[in-house]
Structure formats: structure tokens, C-alpha cells
Amino acid sequence: GAVVSQHPSWVICKSGTSVKIECRSLDFQATTMFWYRQFPKQSLMLMATSNEGSKATYEQGVEKDKFLINHASLTLSTLTVTSAHPEDSSFYICSARPSYEQYFGPGTRLTVT
Amino acid sequence: AQSVTQLGSHVSVSEGALVLLRCNYSSSVPPYLFWYVQYPNQGLQLLLKYTSAATLVKGINGFEAEFKKSETSFHLTKPSAHMSDAAEYFCAVSDQSGNTPLVFGKGTRLSVIA
């Protein structure tokens, strides 16, 4: 089946620094990838849709200048959390779709101290 | 617009008992429906999906779900719960175009009691 990887699986950073999270589709090409955020004991909230070769589409309320998304190739999308603050601490999950079905990465736990 | 409602944020069953997790959807177009399972600190694993073929869908780990258009429901069941079934379960909906992202319900945490 389709496999999506994320790196790193967890990261701790200091407030004010930036963190980059990578999402890769390992055995298929994905023109569209999605970035979700999940707070403890809550559901997944869509942050943005990442389109290869074009700008990402952000959901309402998501700061595009804070959460920078780059979809540079058909197998890689990156999410950079800029000037991270403790309230950005969360579980970030990406997904990619070869067709109608979305495949999810294992997630990245971000802790900002 | 599409939405999903999962009744019961927490369901507790005894080992060997029937598992029933409820999901109702709202969609202005014919939907595709999915159930995912999430173990702590992990991503989502697809259990099963409805894509307008058979209304009774069988998935992995003994789970199945039935699409009922008249009730706008897609409840997840398993005849006999196992301790390893304890996890968070999410119902999700999308349209059939493949162009829109999944919309998730709030999730149901399943506990299995020995």
C-alpha cells in the first residue's frame, strides 16, 4: 500500500526558533498533500492543502506566514513553523493522496519550550 | 459542505463484547466514508472505506461498517472486542471527486475492559 513518512517524529525547540517538518510519499507521487494539526484528545484539524508547484491553500484562521508550506516535488512537502511559541506545541500529521484515498504519515510531535 | 458527527466521545466495552461506534454524516453530494484508527502518538491507519460499491464494508482487524443512506449513518462494528482494539477511532467523509480533503469527526476513544 501507499506509504507516507514524516521526519522528524518528534522535536523539541526553544521559543522563537523555527522548525521544519518533512512529509514524503515513498511509493507514489502526490500532487496534493495535506497538513493537519491535532491537539491532545482532539480530532485532526486541517491546516492547509499543499499543491505541487503552486502556493498552498490555508484554512481560515491558519497564519500562512507562520506555517510555511513548500511542495517542491511530487513526493515531498515541508511545513516550517516559524518563530515557534509554546502554543504551537502539537501533533502535526501530513497526508497524501494518489487518488481519492488519503494516506497519513506517522505524525510529528512538536514541543516548544 | 460536509460534516461528521460521532456520538460518544468515549465508549467502554468488555473484552469479547460487541463494539459499536456511531458515525453520522452530512453531505450535499454522494459521499465517500472512512474509518481510521489511531494509537497513542501515532498516525492514522485506515480501517475501512465506503466508495459507493457494497453498502456493507469489511475492513481490517475484524471491523465492518454499513452505509445507510436513509439514516445518513456509517456505524463501525466488531462482533468481539479485543484488548488490542483500545484506541481512538475517527470517522471521515469526503466527496467522490478526490479533490477535497477529508473532514473528520471528533473521534471516539474505545476502551476495552478485561
pLDDT of A6-34, one tens digit each? Answer: 999 999 999 999 999 999 999 999 888 99
Q: Is the pLDDT of residue B43 over 90?
A: no
Of A41, A102, A109, nearest to B102 by CB-CB distance is A102
Provide the mean pLDDT of chain B: 93
Contact A91, B88 (CB under 8 A): no
* A-B C-beta contacts closer than 8 Å: 50
Minimum CA–CA partner of B43 in chain A: A106
Using H for helix, E for strand and C for coil, what is the string for B36-105? Answer: EEECCCCCEEEEEEECCCCCEEECHHHCEEEEECCCCEEEEEECCCCHHHCEEEEEEEEECCCCCCCEEC
Percentage of residues of chain A with pLDDT beyond 70: 99
**Quick one: average pLDDT of B10-31?**
95
Give the three-class secondary structure for A86: helix
Beta carbons of A103 and B46 less than 8 Å apart? yes
Q: What is the DSSP letter of A75?
A: T
Cross-chain CB nearest to B90 (options A6, A43, A99): A43
What pLDDT does residue A92 have?
A: 97
Q: Give the minimum alpha-carbon distance from A18 to chain B in angstroms, rounded to a whole number.
A: 22
- B38, amino acid identity: Q
Residue A57's region, left for phi above 0, alpha for psi from -120 to 50, else beta, is beta
Q: pLDDT tens digits, residue range A48-64?
A: 999 888 889 999 999 99
Are B51 and A100 in contact (CB < 8 Å)? yes
- Please report residues of A whose CB lies closer than 8 A to that of B96: 100
pLDDT of residue A86 exceeding 90: yes
3-class state of residue A41 by DSSP = coil
